[in-house]
Amino acid sequence: MTGPTLVFLHALGASAREWEHVIDSLPEYACVALDLPGFGGAAGAGHADVATMTDWLADEIRSRRLVRCVVVGHSMGGKIATLVAARAAAGETGLSGVLGVVLVAASPPAPEPMDDDRRAQMIGWFADGQIARDDAATFVDANTVAPLPDPLRASAIDDVLHTSREAWLGWLERGSREDWRAAAGKITIPALIVAGGEDGDLGEDAQRRLNVPHYVTSEVRVVANAAHLIPYERPQALAALIRDHASQVAGSALPTAFAQILGSARVSERTRRVMLERLRPPRDAAPWSDAHHATLAALIAQILPDCGADHRLAQRVAAGVAQGDGDGWRFADLPTDNDAWIRGLATLRRMTGGVAAQDTHVSAGLLENVAKGEAGIADDEAYLSPEQMKLWFEDVRAEVVRVWMSLPTTMAAIGYDGFAVGGDANRKQGYTRTAADDVESWQSAPERAA
């Protein structure tokens, strides 16, 4: 599978051109830099409010059939990126390919913090219908640590000069002041949040207060020697951060044909949301020690050899156990699930010094003895007896395989599409042809996930 496409959204008064040097530093990725309505090549579109720009971006992703992408939003574009990510995380049709978000000095879903006098000055620049070159230069220079080198500074000023008056005023008077916190909610798509070390209103503090709370998983990085116009000031440093994030989220990408089915109208938004969340870090991690997680990952390598020591799967299994999301029953001779798992993992580590540290064959032999009821620690409530270990290990195998089978990546690997039997329309499509090896036109041939 190819890596995710990077979709770039610019800041107020800028255009797709602001990303040129960043994109030049990312030759290994397909990149799409867009002009938001009212800016750059789309200046003739005039003003588009926040809702319209959000719909517009969602339609761009759908029309381009992006089954794996990362949305990068700068300043004004960051607010739009977050709102589309919220819709993607909720399972909206055609947006299941949004794997990650990068916010660069981003405007938050909440009203953007801005000094009232400065806002009034910026609005006044367009009082006569068109901003003057000197005022455009003032705007660019005020948002950088030091004046940009020519011709980069000239390009940035030129973008401001070509901005639609309606779009400029619409953002400052309305869009930046709108409160979209409820719509954004808590987003499960991972985010990289980048701040300029010398940014004023939208620096690190503002990002942590206003953008971080909307993401279940986020990382904040600060770019030194940069203010607000980071794509102009430190393009190589920014590109390196984007590259790292894109490579991290690429692990949740699905094969193209499978992703297209999952993103289609044959799947309900609720089903799509639940399936996509299984590709992302759980909302609430298990309060287990690193040693417990490492031992569980080693167990997974024995139960599912093709998966290896899959720490992401271990994290999901552990979270489910800790939250009580099991199969609804337990052996009478075992304590509650979470306690049984803690004690079972502790027993393995006590007997061997940690499964993760053992030779593969030794670990397999140990687990064979556990399965026979021949390994455990009796008469100590911190551990499990041999009889309890036998029962617990049976439960472990069932739970690991159950969670693994529920992953979209597993479904893609075995060619399962039984979730695509009907979307949110009144009529459920179901299947027309049910004979063995007699597939319908919408079904994909089995394609193994990476």
Question: What's domain 5-252's architecture?
Answer: 3-Layer(aba) Sandwich (3.40)
Burial class (CB in 10 A: 0-12, 13-18, 19+), 249: buried
**Cis before residue 151, ω within 30 degrees of 0?**
yes
Q: Is the pLDDT of residue 426 over 70?
A: yes
Within 211-281, where are the H helices?
230-233, 235-249, 256-262, 269-277
User: Mean pLDDT of all residues in the chain?
Assistant: 92
pLDDT in tens, 62-76: 999 999 999 999 999
Query: pTM here?
Result: 0.89
Query: Given pLDDT bands bounded at 50, 70 and 90, which one contains residue 449?
Result: very low
The mean per-residue pLDDT over the stretch 391-420 comes to 94
Closest to 97 in 3D by CA, of 276, 242, 237: 276
| Token code pair at residue 83 | 């709102």
Q: What angle do CA 84, 88, 91 make, to 5 degrees?
A: 145
For residue 58, the model assigns a pLDDT of 97
For residue 450, the model assigns a pLDDT of 35
What is the C-alpha to C-alpha distance for residues 251 and 71, in angstroms, rounded to an integer? 16
Q: 91, 271 in Cβ contact below 8 A?
A: yes
Mean pLDDT check: name the lowest of 61-65, 203-207, 272-276, 430-434: 430-434
Chain CA centroid to CA 212, Å: 13
**DSSP code for 143:** T
| Token code pair at residue 204 | 């690190």
pLDDT in tens, 92-145: 999 999 999 999 999 999 999 998 999 999 999 998 889 999 999 999 999 999
Domain boundaries, the chain: 5-252, 290-405
Q: Which amino acid is at 133?
A: R
What is the C-alpha to C-alpha distance for residues 83 and 22, in angstroms, rounded to an integer? 23
What is the C-alpha to C-alpha distance for residues 21 and 436, in angstroms, rounded to an integer? 53
Q: Is the pLDDT of residue 177 over 50?
A: yes
Q: Is the pLDDT of residue 53 over 70?
A: yes
pLDDT in tens, 274-328: 999 999 888 877 888 888 888 999 999 999 999 888 888 999 999 999 988 877 8
Q: Is the pLDDT of residue 444 over 70?
A: no
Burial class (CB in 10 A: 0-12, 13-18, 19+), 420: buried
Query: Given pLDDT bands bounded at 50, 70 and 90, which one contains residue 433?
Result: confident
**DSSP code for 327:** -
Q: What are the beta bridge partners of residue 100?
A: 70
Q: 212, 220 in Cβ contact below 8 A?
A: yes
The mean per-residue pLDDT over the stretch 338-348 comes to 94
For residue 1, the model assigns a pLDDT of 60
- What number of CA atoms fall less than 13 Å from residue 293's CA on the CB side? 15
Query: Given pLDDT bands bounded at 50, 70 and 90, which one contains residue 239?
Result: very high
pLDDT in tens, 179-188: 999 999 999 9
Strands 98-104, 218-223: pairing is unpaired
